[in-house]
Amino acid sequence: MKKANEILSSINPLKLTKKISRQKELVGKAPGSLIYTGEVVDVPVELSVIRYSETHYDSFILKNATDAHEEKGVDHISWINVDGIHDVDIIKTIGKDFDLHSLLLEDILNIEQRPKIEVYGDNLVVFFKMMYLRDNKLDIEPISLVLGPNYLISFQEKKGDIFDNVRARIKNTNGRIRKRGSDYLLFALMDAVVDNYFVVMEDIADKLELLEDKLFEDTDNKLLYELQQYRKQIVNMRRSVYPLREVVNKLNRAEFGVISEDTERFFRDLYDHTIQIIETIETFKETVSSLKDVFMTGVSNKMNEIMKVLTLIATIFIPVTFVAGVYGMNFEDMPELSWEYGYEATWGLMLLMGGAMLVYFKKKKWL
Residue 1 lies in a domain: no
Are residues 339 and 215 located together in one domain of the fold? no
Predicted confidence (pLDDT) per residue in 26-55, tens digit: 666 777 778 888 887 888 999 999 999 988
Question: Is residue 81 in some structural domain?
Answer: yes
| Strand 77-83, strand 151-156: pairing | parallel
Residue 22 has pLDDT above 80, yes or no: no
pLDDT of residue 20: 55
C-beta neighbour count of 134 within 10 angstroms: 10
pTM attached to this predicted model:
0.77
Kindly state the percentage of the chain with pLDDT values over 70: 91
In a domain, 2, yes or no: no
Least confident among 97-101, 324-328, 334-338, 351-355: 334-338
Are 287 and 312 members of one domain? no
**Out of 20-24, 43-47, 55-59, 234-238, least confident range:** 20-24
Q: Which residues form the domain of 353?
A: 304-363
Give domain status of residue 220, yes or no: yes
Whether residue 284 sits in one domain with residue 212: yes
CATH number of residue 308's parent domain: 1.20.58.340
- The amino acid present at 332, given as its one-letter code, is E
4 found inside a domain: no
| Mean pLDDT to the nearest integer, 326-353 | 79
Residue 310 sits in the same domain as residue 235: no
Instruction: Write the pLDDT tens digit of every residue in 100-133.
Output: 989 899 999 998 889 999 988 888 999 999 988 7
Examine the fold and report which residue of 297, 323, 345 is the final residue of a domain before the chain moves on: 297
Coil vs helix vs strand at 246: helix
pLDDT, average across residues 187-208? 90
Let me know whether 103 and 218 are in one domain.
Answer: yes
Q: Please indicate, yes or no, whether residues 171 and 228 belong to a single structural domain of this protein.
A: yes
Domain boundary among 297, 314, 338: 297
Lowest mean per-residue pLDDT among 1-5, 158-162, 178-182, 360-364: 1-5
How many structural domains compose the chain? 2
Residue 291 maps to a domain = yes
Domain boundary among 240, 275, 297: 297
Print the SS3 string covering 299-347: HHHHHHHHHHHHHHHHHHHHHHHHHHHHCCCCCCCCHHHHCCCHHHHHH
For residues 291 and 310, state if they share a domain.
no
In a domain, 48, yes or no: yes
Dihedral angle of Cα 83, 88, 89, 91, to the nearest 10 degrees:
50
Domain CATH code at residue 32: 3.30.460.20
Say if residues 128 and 115 touch (Cβ distance below 8 Å): yes
**C-alpha torsion sign, points 87, 167, 17, 195:** positive
